[in-house]
Structure 1
């Protein structure tokens, strides 16, 4: 069985089985990563995975999860951020719409 050596920031080098690693390959390469729970300290460790690391982990038997970032995530956002008052107004309008809908269909 394949053993993969990884590094925990607390414990140093640890040995893992492929099933103990999670490999996420993103459509935007610099967002790809691998993660594991350190068998010694139980901390979750997450590290970036470039093309070389992805190839090594896949060849070692780690299944790759594909993640496609929607185009909307890269759109430029214009305007002010939503405020607490905006959210409150939205909720109050939902309540008003519920009352109107119940009077029509109620």
Structure 2
């Protein structure tokens, strides 16, 4: 059985079996990563996976999950971000609208 050596930021080098690693290969190469639960400290460790790392892990028996980023996530965002006040105003307006509809149906 293949043993894969990885590095935990707390414990240092650890040895893992392929089934203990999660490899996510993204359509945006910069977003690909691998993750594992450290067998010593139990921390979840997540690290970037470039093409070389992906090839090494796959050749070691790690199953690759494919992830395609939706086009909407990659679109340029214009304007200001929605704030907490914006959400609160929306909710208050929905309550007001519900009250008006209830009175009309009355």
TM range (shorter): 0.7 to 0.9
- 1:25 is paired with a residue whose SS is strand
- 1:19 is paired with a residue whose SS is helix
Supply the RMSD in Å over aligned alpha carbons.
1.8
TM-score of the superposition, structure 2-length normalised? 0.87
Counterpart Cα distance in 1 of 2:21 and 2:49? 12
Structure 1: runs of 5 or more not aligned: none
Structure 2: runs of 5 or more not aligned: none
Q: CA deviation at 1:92?
A: 1.2
Hey, what does 1:22 align to over in structure 2? 22
Q: CA deviation at 1:62?
A: 1.0
Hey, what does 1:38 align to over in structure 2? 38
4+ long deviations beyond 2 Å: 96-106
TM-score of the superposition, structure 1-length normalised? 0.87
